[in-house]
């Protein structure tokens, strides 16, 4: 009996040694080695690097679509106002929607930034019933059926405005037909009275009098300097002329003298 018990214990010890040996040799393991763990982390990092730009681009596009939807709603309301008010266009003095991509905050008259977000990101064009109230020499339409140049598909109504330069509800730009000279008669380049936004991947969104909305990609980035800032370069001039083509031209050529 003693011999049998001794032999069983010896067999148990041998089985334990075999299991221990198998674990060290890699036959039966459940844990990762350091190299395997680093390899997995590396693969995850590569996948994240590939996916994050796509996800970021998708978020930018989603904000752009939301902005276009806001402008589409504004344009419907604008048109319905004319339908309900004997063809008269709405007055250009209201507070409008905020662009979902506009992260700017309100500011005091002294220039102090406040934590509250701005309430408005869009302006209405000077060509649609706003300018005659305050600036009677800027050409504008008062009735919807009077819009004839540019035609409704080309006349923009609402535009996404640069967050650092928006200070009223009117988007102004020198109309076609105006020529600028200094006091010596030398030609002077026109200026941005108001600067459009470029928060949508160096572009902004606009609505038009026929009811459609568009996204415009700018040739040059829009960096705000001051109200009435000069055209920055040839690409900026291309953008300026594109926007100016969407407002009512002057009925007759006008010479504007710029004094220092």
d(CA 115, CA 18): 70
Q: What are the tens digits of pLDDT across the range 95-105?
A: 668 899 999 99
The tally of domains found in the chain comes to 1
Evaluate whether residue 112 is within a structural domain.
yes
Query: What is the rounded average pLDDT of the residues 37-66?
Result: 78
Whether pLDDT at 224 is above 70: yes
178, part of any domain = yes
Select from 97, 94, 52, 50 the least CA-distant residue to 205.
97
pLDDT, tens digit (0-9, with 9 covering 90-100), for 65-80: 999 999 999 999 999 9
- pLDDT at residue 225 greater than cutoff 80: yes
Task: Count CB-CB contacts under 10 A for residue 141.
Answer: 21
Joined tokens for residue 164: 């650092």
The residue among 106 and 7 whose pLDDT is bigger is: 106
Strands 170-171 and 122-125: parallel
pLDDT at 136: 57
Q: Report if residue 215 sits inside a domain.
A: yes
- The answer to the question of residue 11 being in a domain is no
> Does pLDDT of 205 surpass 60?
yes
CA distances from 60 to 53, 56, 197, 203 (A): 11, 6, 15, 12
In a domain, 9, yes or no: no
Split at pLDDT 50, 70, 90, the class of 12 is: low
13 located within any domain: no
Residue 194 lies in domain? 55-258
Residue 56 pLDDT more than 80? no
Q: Is the predicted pLDDT of residue 144 greater than 90, yes or no?
A: yes
Q: Are 205 and 67 in contact (CB under 8 A)?
A: yes
Considering the domain boundaries, does residue 77 fall inside one?
yes
User: Do the beta carbons of residue 109 and residue 117 sit within 8 Å?
Assistant: no
Q: What per-residue confidence (pLDDT) applies to 80?
A: 95
Closest CA to 205 of 75, 43, 11: 75
Q: What is the mean pLDDT of the chain?
A: 82
Residue with tokens 């409008």: 96
Higher pLDDT, 244 or 131: 244
Higher pLDDT, 21 or 113: 113
Confidence of residue 197 (pLDDT cuts 50, 70, 90): very high
Residue 161 lies in a domain: yes
Confidence of residue 4 (pLDDT cuts 50, 70, 90): very low
């Amino acid at each position: 009996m003693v011999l049998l018990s001794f032999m069983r214990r010896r067999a148990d010890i041998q089985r334990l040694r075999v299991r221990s040996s198998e674990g060290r040799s890699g036959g039966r393991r459940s844990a990762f080695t350091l190299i395997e763990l680093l390899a997995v982390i590396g693969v995850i990092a590569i996948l994240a690097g590939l996916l994050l730009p796509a996800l970021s681009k998708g978020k930018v596009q989603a904000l752009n679509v939301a902005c276009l939807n806001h402008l589409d709603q504004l344009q419907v309301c604008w048109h319905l106002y004319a339908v309900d008010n004997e063809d008269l266009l709405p007055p250009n003095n209201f507070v409008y929607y905020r662009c979902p991509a506009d992260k700017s905050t309100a500011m005091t008259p002294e220039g102090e930034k406040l934590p509250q977000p701005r309430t408005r990101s869009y302006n209405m064009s000077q060509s649609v019933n706003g300018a005659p109230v305050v600036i009677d020499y800027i050409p504008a339409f008062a009735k919807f059926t009077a819009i004839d140049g540019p035609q409704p598909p080309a006349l923009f109504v609402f535009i996404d405005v640069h967050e650092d330069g928006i200070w009223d509800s009117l988007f102004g730009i020198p109309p076609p037909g105006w020529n600028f000279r200094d006091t010596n008669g030398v030609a002077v380049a026109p200026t941005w009275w108001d600067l459009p936004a470029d928060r949508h991947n160096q572009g902004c969104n606009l609505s038009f009098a026929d009811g459609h909305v568009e996204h415009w990609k700018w040739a040059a980035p829009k960096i705000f300097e001051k109200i009435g800032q000069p055209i920055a370069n040839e690409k900026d001039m291309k953008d300026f002329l594109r926007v100016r083509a969407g407002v009512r031209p002057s009925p007759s050529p006008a010479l504007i003298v710029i004094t220092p």
